[in-house]
Chain A
Amino acid sequence: MAFNNIEKLLDKYFEGETSIVEENALKEYFAKKEVPEHLKQYQAMFAYFAQNKKETAPQNIQVKPVKNTWHMQWAAKAAVVLLLFAIGYALYPKGLSDAEKKEAEIAFKQTQKALNLISKNLNKGNYAVQYLDEFESSKNKIFKN
């Protein structure tokens, strides 16, 4: 491209009026090694734009989502279900079923029986102790101490 054209393009460029195609022509022109002395200062400018366009994002930027989203979703669902159960259990009136009532009654009767037995036997013991007292008083009468 002739210098004349380039200078016209440059003027247009600095006014912000060039098209992408024209800007590419400028970039191409200044990418050459031999550029007239008075245009040399623009070389770095276009070279920098081209260089910057090659800069890439660091590799560790993950486009892949966090791996455990899938597990987390299920865990969240499970947690909600558990919570509902817990609330339901806490709110539900604590009534006992018929079978449980019967069982409790039987257990009560058995306990009562057992306790009666114990108290009877304890009374027997009492009786024996009374007998011992009698024996002692009789003995005292005989030995008169």
Chain B
Amino acid sequence: MNEKEFLQIVLSFKDKMFRLAKRYVISKEVAEDITQDVVLRLWMNRDKMKEYRNVEAFAMTMIKNACLDKLKAKNAQNLKIVHSNYKDESIRVAKDTEVKDSISIVEKLMNELPEKQRIIMQLRDVEQYSFDEIGKILEINQVAIRVSLSRARKTIRQKLIKFHNYGVQ
């Protein structure tokens, strides 16, 4: 596989990789590093890429694993790092709340979901992957995906209704 072919393939889902990474680690900078790292690893293994029928799903799985490793390492080092990133984000979003930017509130609510739920929501509602593809990326069965997705959507709805009724001052 030459550079041109490689670029064509990877550029088509580079943004999806970045968005998935960001949904995992919340921090934009860390997501950037992880995406860069996975792209380089794909380049190193470009000869094997032809063997995979679904390169995109394979790349997304690599992102998932890299993010989980990163989160695990950070948790082992210092429990607060990830958490504080997360907090910073909420503070930023909280400021937006004052501007009554309801779209940012959805972002905040989504990032508050349990990891599995928010990742499935990302892959389905944002990236519009089929359940089959999500199953391949996350290596879980489709029933579990539907259950988590339904829970995630209902949680967002519930919190949005609450916000809609009492949140707007």
Contact = CB atoms under 8 A, between A and B. Distances in A.
12 contacts: A13-B153, A16-B150, A20-B130, A41-B157, A42-B157, A44-B160, A51-B103, A55-B19, A57-B15, A61-B14, A61-B18, A65-B43
A14 B11 contact: no
Interface in A4-55: 13-17, 20, 23-24, 40-45, 47-49, 51-53, 55
Nearest to A66: B40
Interface stretch (B2-10, B48-56, B64-72, B76-84): B2-10
A49 B147 contact: no
B113 interface: no
Given A52-B107, A61-B39, A45 B160 contact: yes
Interface string B83-119: 0000000000000000000110111001000000000
Contacts of B15: 55-57
B153 A14 contact: yes
Given A16-B150, A42-B160, A63-B7, A53 B32 contact: no
B103, B127, B128, most chain A CB atoms within 10 A: B103
B149 interface: yes
Q: Is the interface of B mostly helix, strand, loop or mixed?
A: helix
A47 B149 contact: no
Interface of B: 3, 6-7, 10-11, 14-15, 17-19, 22, 28, 32, 35-36, 39-40, 43-44, 102-103, 105-107, 110, 122, 124-128, 130, 145-147, 149-150, 153-154, 156-157, 160-161, 163-164
A58 B153 contact: no
Contacts of A55: 15, 18-19, 22
Contact of A14 (B102, B127, B150, B164): B150
A91 B15 CA distance: 56
A68 interface: no
Contacts of A62: 36, 39
Nearest to A24: B128
